[in-house]
Amino acid sequence: MASNSTPILRSALSFRVPRPRPSRTREVEVLLKKFGILLYLGAGFFFFLFWLYWVFPSDALKSRILTEIENRTQGRYKIDVADLDVSLLGGLTFKNLKVSEGMGGAERILLKTPKLKLGASPLGLISGKLDFNFYMKGSKGDVEGKYKQEGDAFALDADFDKFPLADLGILSVPGKMNLSGQVDGELRLNIDRRDSSKNSGNIDLRLMNLTLGATKLALDPSSPETAMDIPEIKLSGAKDSGIQGEVKKDVFEISGIHLKGGDLDLSLSGRATLQGPRVSDYRLALQGNFSITETLAKALPFLFIIEQQKNAQGVYPLSITGRLAKPNIRVGTFNLPI
C-alpha cells in the first residue's frame, strides 16, 4: 500500500501553482513610462538646440570669417557675398560669391559662383587648419571634392561635372586670356613639397568646347602699342579633348594633352619634374605636334614665321622644355621668341 502511494505523493509535491501573469494594464504603464522618459530627453535636446541657435552670434561670426579671409590674403583679394550661412554642426555656405583682384577698371574676377559650400567648422577655418569638403555650383555644371593641408603637404580630390571654365576666372588672369568651355572628369593629388617621395595622384579631365576669346598679343612687352589683335580661337570641339596623367613621386607622367575638333589640333605627351620650392620651378619635357585650320592661319598672319617647319603631312613638330614659369617652345627647329 505504501509503495503504491509513493508516486502519487511525489506527483502532488512536484505540482506548483502557476504565478499570476502581470495584467495588460501593468504592461501599458511600463511602456508609457519609458516613452515619457524618451519624450522628455528629446524635448530637452530640441530646446537646447533652439536656444543655441537663438543666441548663436552668427552675424558677428560671418563678419569675422570674411575679415579673416581678406586678412590672410593681405587685402589682395576682395570678397563679395550676398549671404553667408553658418551651420551649427560645422560648415559654411556662400551664396552669390565673387572673389576679385584689383580695383575699378583693373578689377579681375577670379571666382564667381551662385553657391559654394564648405563642410568644415568655422572655428577650424579661422584657426588655419584646412580640412574640408567642398561643393561649388557653376553657372551650369558643378564640382565637388575634398581638400586637406598640413604644413607643406596637401591633398586634393575633385570631381567635375561639365563645370564652366569661365567661372574660374583665375585661369584667365595670368595671361589676361578669356578662356571658356567645360571640364568633366576627376583629379586626385597628394603633394608634399618637402618630401616628393610621398607624391601620388592622377588626372583624367575632358575638355569640351574650349575657346580662347578675342584678345591682344604683344610680342614685345616693352612696346604694348605694337600689340596685335587676336581673334577668337576655338581650341577644341565637344569630344576627344582632355588631359590625362599620373603623379609618381617627383614626376608627373603626362600620357596625353589633346585638343581635337577646333581650329587647333594638338597632341602632346611627356613629363613634368615636380622639384623646387615653387611651382614655377617645375620643369617640363613635352613632345608632340599640332596643325591649324586654314581659317586660323589667315587670322594669324604672323604664323608665316613657322611655315617652313611644317612637314609633308601639314603637321608642325612641337617640343616644350624648361621651367614652367618660362618654358622653351620649339616648333620644328625654330624657337619661339617668348
Extract the C-alpha cell encoding 224: 604694348
Q: Whole-angstrom Cα distance, residue 286 to residue 322?
A: 10
307 in any annotated domain: yes
Q: Whole-angstrom Cα distance, residue 121 to residue 216?
A: 44
pLDDT tops 80 at residue 164: yes
Per-residue pLDDT tens for 104-122? 556 778 888 999 998 875 5
Q: What is the dihedral of CA 36, 41, 43, 47, to 10 degrees?
A: 160
40 in any annotated domain: no
pTM listed for this prediction: 0.73
15 in any annotated domain: no
Average pLDDT, the chain: 78
Q: How many CB atoms lie within 10 A of CB 122?
A: 20
Top mean pLDDT of 7-11, 189-193, 333-337 is at: 189-193
| Secondary structure (3-state) at 289 | strand
- Please enumerate in sequence order all residues whose Cβ is within 8 A of that of 197, keeping only pairs 6 or more positions apart, or say none: 249, 250
When pLDDT is averaged across residues 209-228 and rounded to a whole number, the result is 74
Given pLDDT bands bounded at 50, 70 and 90, which one contains residue 272?
very high
Q: How many CB atoms lie within 10 A of CB 35?
A: 10
Q: Please spell the DSSP secondary structure of 138-181, one letter per residue.
A: -SS-EEEEEEEEETTEEEEEEEEEEEEGGG-GGGTTTTT--EEE
Containing 188, the helix (H) or strand (E) segment is: strand 179-192
Q: Whole-angstrom Cα distance, residue 195 to residue 204?
A: 24
Given pLDDT bands bounded at 50, 70 and 90, which one contains residue 59?
low
pLDDT tops 80 at residue 88: no
Given pLDDT bands bounded at 50, 70 and 90, which one contains residue 185?
very high
| Secondary structure (3-state) at 225 | helix
- Together in a domain, 173 and 319: yes
How many domains, the chain?
Answer: 2
- Together in a domain, 197 and 299: yes
Closest CA to 186 of 171, 203, 166, 168: 203
- Together in a domain, 273 and 251: yes
Given pLDDT bands bounded at 50, 70 and 90, which one contains residue 48?
very low
Beta bridge partners of 55: none
Closest CA to 300 of 219, 225, 243, 224: 219
Closest CA to 237 of 203, 276, 211: 211
pLDDT tops 50 at residue 53: no
Extract the C-alpha cell encoding 58: 552668427
Tell me the residue length of the chain: 338
When pLDDT is averaged across residues 217-228 and rounded to a whole number, the result is 66
User: Tell me, what's the pLDDT at 195?
Assistant: 86
- Together in a domain, 337 and 285: yes
218 in any annotated domain: yes
- Together in a domain, 99 and 219: no
Per-residue pLDDT tens for 301-336? 778 888 889 888 889 999 999 998 889 999 999 888
Amino acid at 299: A
pLDDT tops 90 at residue 181: yes
pLDDT tops 70 at residue 49: no
- Together in a domain, 130 and 258: no
Region of residue 40 (left: phi > 0; alpha: psi -120 to 50; beta: else): alpha
pLDDT tops 50 at residue 246: yes
24 in any annotated domain: no
13 in any annotated domain: no
- Together in a domain, 311 and 260: yes
User: Tell me, what's the pLDDT at 13?
Assistant: 47
Q: In terms of C-beta density within 10 A (0-12 exposed, 13-18 middle, 19 or more buried), how is residue 15 classed?
A: exposed
91 in any annotated domain: yes
Please state, in angstroms and as integers, the Cα–Cα distance from residue 22 to each residue in 15, 19, 31, 34, 35, following that order.
Answer: 22, 9, 13, 17, 19
Q: Whole-angstrom Cα distance, residue 309 to residue 192?
A: 41
User: Tell me, what's the pLDDT at 320?
Assistant: 95
- Together in a domain, 164 and 305: yes
pLDDT tops 60 at residue 267: yes
4 in any annotated domain: no
Domain range for residue 213?
A: 149-338
Closest CA to 306 of 286, 266, 335: 335
User: Tell me, what's the pLDDT at 52?
Assistant: 46
